[in-house]
Amino acid sequence: MLLEFAYAEALWDEVFRSWVTKSIEGTPTEVSDKLSFIAPNAVQRLVSQVFIHDLIRKNIDSFERLEKAGFKVNAFGDPYWHILERIKVKSDATLTHYTPSGLRFSDSTEIPADLAIFATGFDPNIQNIIREYFGKSVADENGRFSYMDDEGELEGAYKFNQAGLACIGGAIGPSRWFSRFVVLHMKAKLTGHPLVVYSKH
């Protein structure tokens, strides 16, 4: 982890700092895309963390004022930990009803809650859409769309895990950047030089 963080800091210092600290108005789209997506997935979280810490250092007075006002501030912590790990998701049971103090689920568990916010209708996992249209076996072979394994490889996105099916999704930036690799994969097959999709399994 220390080696990865050192790499992230070096990458930030050598590549990204001059780009984000200058005005990016007029920067060609292809340059912005390259700078946004060239970092290996395995260290992208750390690069983002270095970037956020750099911004915090420039505005440290704001955080110090919050702390003096009584807020618990961890200015140089890992924001992704709060977003992805600290905030838990319960997905092993369905909501059945409200209780006086929270929410009750089909497995008889209850979660205390002062407020319930419904955010329904969006499914970021394209694997579920594949399952609906093509069946379970095709969806299982394709893998989870944006799941990243311990090597930093995306499981089911922007590549052909099976013949004739590749999934592209997300925001405009990553779709624009990574779709080129799907097209290159198609071109390689059409010209008689098919690529073998990497998998450690």
| Span 2-21, pLDDT tens digits | 444 454 555 555 555 555 54
**Cα–Cα dist 29/176, whole Å:** 10
Highest averaged pLDDT of the listed ranges 11-20, 38-47, 51-60, 86-95:
51-60
More confident residue, 8 or 159: 159
* 31 vs 166, higher pLDDT: 166
State mean pLDDT over 136-154.
83
Is 164 found in the same domain as 181? yes
Q: Rounded to two decimals, what is the model's pTM?
A: 0.56
Q: Do 116 and 164 fall into the same domain?
A: no
Average pLDDT for residues 122-141, to the nearest whole number?
86
Mean pLDDT of the chain: 78
**Residue 90's pLDDT is what?**
77
Cα 2 to Cα 6, 83, 90, 107: the distances in Å are 6, 22, 32, 41
Check pLDDT > 50 for residue 182. yes
| Number of domains the chain contains | 3
- Assess if residue 136 is contained within a domain: yes
Average pLDDT over residues 92-118: 88
61 & 21 share domain: yes
Question: Where does the pLDDT of residue 188 fall: very low under 50, low under 70, confident under 90, or very high at 90 and above?
Answer: very high
Domain annotation covers residue 201? no
Is 196 domain-assigned?
A: no
User: pLDDT at position 22, please?
Assistant: 52
What's the domain range around 143?
126-190
Task: Return the half-sphere exposure (C-beta side, CA atoms, 13 A cut-off) of residue 165.
Answer: 17
Q: What are the tens digits of pLDDT across the range 61-82?
A: 888 888 888 887 777 777 777 7
User: pLDDT for 17-36, tens place per residue?
Assistant: 555 545 556 678 888 787 77
Instruction: Say if residues 126 and 167 touch (Cβ distance below 8 Å).
Output: yes
146 and 173 share a domain? Answer: yes
Cα separation, 180 vs 154, in Å, equals 16
**Residue 128's pLDDT is what?**
87
